[in-house]
Amino acid sequence: MPFEIERKYLVKKDLWSTLAKPQGEYYRQGYIVNEKAKTVRVRATENKGFLTIKGKTDNPAIKPEYEYQIPKSEAIELLKGFTENNIEKTRYKVNYEGKTWEIDVFHGDNQGLIVAEIELHSIEEWYKIPDWIDYEVTHEDQYFNANLSKNPFKNWI
């Protein structure tokens, strides 16, 4: 079974705003199934579509994950016809000390939230944390995209 090993962090907005960034990519995603133990997500990027199935383990940093590329047109149809509470974000991929960090700048109901993720090969893998990282939120469920679709950031502030 394939697993995703990922750590999540909040980003220091003031430092992030001063960084030279690569071109970001717009994502729209929604959930066909959005339960505590499993999710089925549809994502449309600027050029592609994806269907992703995730499970849950005792460690929130490790999840079983199956991801399949689908035509963008089908992803948009699925988003329109089978999902509710979609989220929108721009994703920036930043290379730092040999690792790729994915920084999500959220839009819409999650405007103002910036989350960085790093995918790892093992839970023990070492990596250096950039200055623009604030603190880790891997173990805080409210920052998972599936939960942001149901309880957006605007409701917290």
- pLDDT given for residue 6 in this prediction: 97
Query: Which pTM was predicted?
Result: 0.95
| The token pair that represents 11 in the structure block | 């980003």
Residue 110 has pLDDT above 90, yes or no: yes
Q: 132 lies in which domain range?
A: 3-155
Has 31 been annotated as catalytic?
A: yes
Q: Pick from 154, 143, 147, 142: which is nearest to 110 by CA?
A: 154
pLDDT digits (tens, 9 = 90+) for 80-105: 999 988 999 999 999 999 999 999 99
pLDDT band at 122; cut points 50, 70, 90: very high
Assign residue 93 the CATH number of its domain.
Answer: 2.40.320.10
Please compute the mean of the pLDDT values over residues 53-75 and round it to a whole number. Answer: 96
9, 26, 27, 31: the catalytic one is: 31
Beta partners for 41?
Answer: 31, 52
Name the H helices within 1-131.
13-18, 72-82
pLDDT value of residue 1:
78
How many structural domains comprise the chain? Answer: 1
Find the DSSP H helices in the chain. 13-18, 72-82, 145-150
